[in-house]
Amino acid sequence: MNAAGDAFDPLAPTNEVQHAQLGELRRSCPISQTPGGTWYLARHADVVAASRDVDRIESAFLAPDDADIDTQFLPFISEPEHGKVRRVINAAIATHRLSRIDAPLRSLCNELLGGLLDAGEGDIGEHYIAPIPAAGIGYLLGLPDDHQPRFIEWAHGLFGGSVLGDAESARRSRHAMREISAYLDAEIASRAESDDPPDDFITRLVNTEVAGIRLSPIACRTQLIFLLVAGTETTRNLLANAMLRLATAPDLYQRLRREPEAIGPFIEESLRVDPPLTYLLRQCKVPVQIGGVDFDQGTDVAFGLAAANRDEAVFEHPDDFDVDRSNVRSHLAFGDGPHVCPGAALARLEARIAIEVLLDRVATITLSESFRYQKTPVPFTNGPVSVPVRITRT
Ligand code: HEM
């Protein structure tokens, strides 16, 4: 281990993830200090161990001790409170309920793709995939169809303001936050007061009690808003990366059309090779050892998801996109440990539906000549801003 004296900074904003340099770092200096002082973990095993050590390594954006946990987003709540809130959310988001979103989301995907098919070309990022993640969460929550467009707009406003520093994004985010808060408060209150509330996620969140813990209406609203913030841009980037891959790998595209059983592994391999979040920021709450290195209390640590996902100790030929690898689900795109993404099953389902509809109706997909790779502006996110394609009907 040595303080990285070289020029490479794994946390510096770049237009593309620097996989070659991350690989170099993983092999030569897997626990390194960035010029900004944060320590970067590049190995799969270190990221897994540190992710599970939540009593000693916490989110770098943790709420102060006296903060009201009702108004804190889930990742920023300390243990043991985090575990209690998380159990209620896990119980309410149980995977077997997700099948309900299949039909409405499939029908939305067909409608969106129909427009693009008529045109024959366009940005598949904007015209097909952008509305899918927020719509999926809207269907999960149980919102009626005519509320969906506003909900999708709020989701985009909220995320932009929470990560882009400019004044216009911040204004849109405040506006979205006011509107969605009022909307969700009314939805929560109506379910809490009803003798026969609809059987949906909001009702379950309001009524679920785990080990004597029930979320207050404000805590329900806070966590519902966070689902949107956490689940929209991430899933959008998963889909944008997957679309870019398919538009540049015609043999793979035709294989997925012939072998639907390869779609699941394709989604996992896409998450591994192109993770929508490239790193997570944490802080050591007490002195702690990670991968044989001692860290003082207060040290900032980054979990290098993009580097860990290509760790040759876990994945053979890690730079190859290989849907047939035996451990295709061993990636860390959804994190690990007690904070592991509770929306992973929903994200996987949304991706599967969007890809199945595409494969069903599109015979060929190719990138337009106008394509220039431009990564989303948020430093820790990873996906192309646009994916202009030409498509032909089946
Ligand atoms: C491809 C899409 C997605 C990716 C790559 C992703 C990735 C992640 C990662 C890496 C974490 C761990 C963060 C940490 O440890 O600090 C996380 C947490 C979280 N995700 Fe996701 N996510 C995705 C989709 C979703 C969706 C669809 C939802 C909601 C429906 C969601 C809700 C959450 C929540 C609430 C947390 C916080 C969990 C906690 O702190 O206990 N995510 N996600």
194 C-alpha to ligand 1 centroid (Å): 31
The whole-number pLDDT of residue 158 equals 83
For the Cβ of 83 lying below 6 angstroms from any atom of ligand 1, the answer is: no
Question: Does ligand 1 lie within 6 Å of residue 235's CB atom?
Answer: yes
Residue 220 has pLDDT above 70, yes or no: yes
Q: What is the pLDDT of residues 271-325, one digit of tens each?
A: 999 999 999 999 999 999 999 999 999 999 999 999 999 999 999 999 999 999 9
Which of 280, 286, 281, 279 shows the shortest CA–CA distance to 300?
281
CA dist., res. 61 & res. 162, Å (int): 13
In whole angstroms, give the CA distance from residue 385 to residue 371: 10
Q: Who wins on pLDDT, 164 or 339?
A: 339
Ligand 1 centroid to Cα of residue 370, in Å, is 33
Cβ neighbours for 252, distance < 8 A, ≥ 6 positions apart: 245, 246, 266, 321, 323
Q: At what angle do helices 344-361 and 217-248 cross, to 10 degrees?
A: 40
What pLDDT score does 162 carry?
59
Coil/strand/helix, residue 22: helix
Which of 78, 143, 268, 341 should be mutated for ligand 1, with most atoms under 8 A from CB? 341
- Of all helices (H) and strands (E), which one includes residue 366? strand 362-367
Pocket lining: 138 vs ligand 1, CB cutoff 6 Å: no
The dihedral formed by the CA atoms of 16, 290, 234 and 65, expressed in degrees to the nearest 10: -130
Q: Which helix (H) or strand (E) holds 284?
A: strand 280-284
Residue range 168-183: mean pLDDT, rounded: 91
Q: Is 149 a residue whose pLDDT tops 90?
A: no
Task: Using the atom order of ligand 1, give the atom closest to the CA of residue 338.
Answer: 41
- Domains with residue ranges and CATH for the chain: 19-393 (1.10.630.10)
| Nearest residue by C-alpha to atom 17 in ligand 1 | 341
Q: Name, in order, each residue with C-beta under 8 angstroms of 118's C-beta and a sequence gap of 6 or more.
A: none
Nearest CA, atom 24, ligand 1: 231
Model confidence band, residue 145 (pLDDT cutoffs 50, 70, 90): confident
Question: Radius of gyration (Cα) for the chain, nearest Å?
Answer: 21
Give the closest residue to 23 by CA, choosing from 304, 218, 226.
Answer: 304
CB atoms within 10 A of CB 163: 17
DSSP code, position 18 = -
The SS3 call for residue 149 is helix
Flag whether pLDDT at 164 surpasses 70.
Answer: no
DSSP secondary-structure letter at 261?
Answer: G
Name the residue at shortest CA distance from atom 39 of ligand 1: 339
Q: For residue 67, what pLDDT is reported?
A: 75
Q: Please tell me if the CB atom of residue 379 comes closer than 6 angstroms to any atom of ligand 1.
A: no
pLDDT over 70, % of the chain = 96
The arithmetic mean of pLDDT across residues 114-125, rounded, is 97
Asked if pLDDT for residue 184 goes beyond 50, the answer is: yes
What confidence tens digit (pLDDT) does each residue in 350-378 have? Answer: 999 999 999 999 999 999 999 999 998 88
pLDDT score at 6: 54
For residue 234, give the nearest of 271, 267, 281 by alpha carbon: 271
pLDDT at 2: 40
Query: Does residue 5 carry a pLDDT above 60?
Result: no
Residues 181, 223: Cα–Cα separation, whole Å: 11
Over 50: is that where the pLDDT of 186 sits? yes
Residue appearing with tokens 């896990």: 90
- As a whole number of angstroms, the distance between CA 134 and CA 142 comes to 12
pLDDT of residue 61 exceeding 90, the answer is no
Ligand 1 center–CA 14 separation, angstroms = 23
Give me 205's structure tokens: 């969140």
- Residue 4 confidence (pLDDT): 46
- Reported as a pLDDT band with limits 50, 70 and 90, residue 143 is confident
Across the chain, mean pLDDT equals: 92
Residue 115 structure tokens: 């427009």
pLDDT for the residue numbered 1:
40
Q: Does 54 sit in the ligand 1 pocket, CB within 6 Å?
A: no
Predicted confidence at residue 353, as pLDDT, reads 98
The answer on pLDDT for 44 being more than 50 is yes
The amino acid that residue 318 corresponds to is P
* Ligand 1 atom at shortest distance from the alpha carbon of 337: 15
User: Is the CB of residue 339 less than 8 Å from the CB of residue 251?
Assistant: no
Is the CB of residue 383 below 6 angstroms from any atom belonging to ligand 1? no
* 304 Cβ inside 6 Å of ligand 1: no
- Residue 159: the pLDDT is 74
Least confident of 35-44, 131-140, 290-299: 131-140
Q: Residues of 210-226 as b/e, b for ≥16 C-beta within 10 angstroms? A: beeeebebebbbbbbbb
CA 180, 98, 198, 70 dihedral sign is negative
pLDDT tier, 96 (very low <50, low <70, confident <90, very high otherwise): low
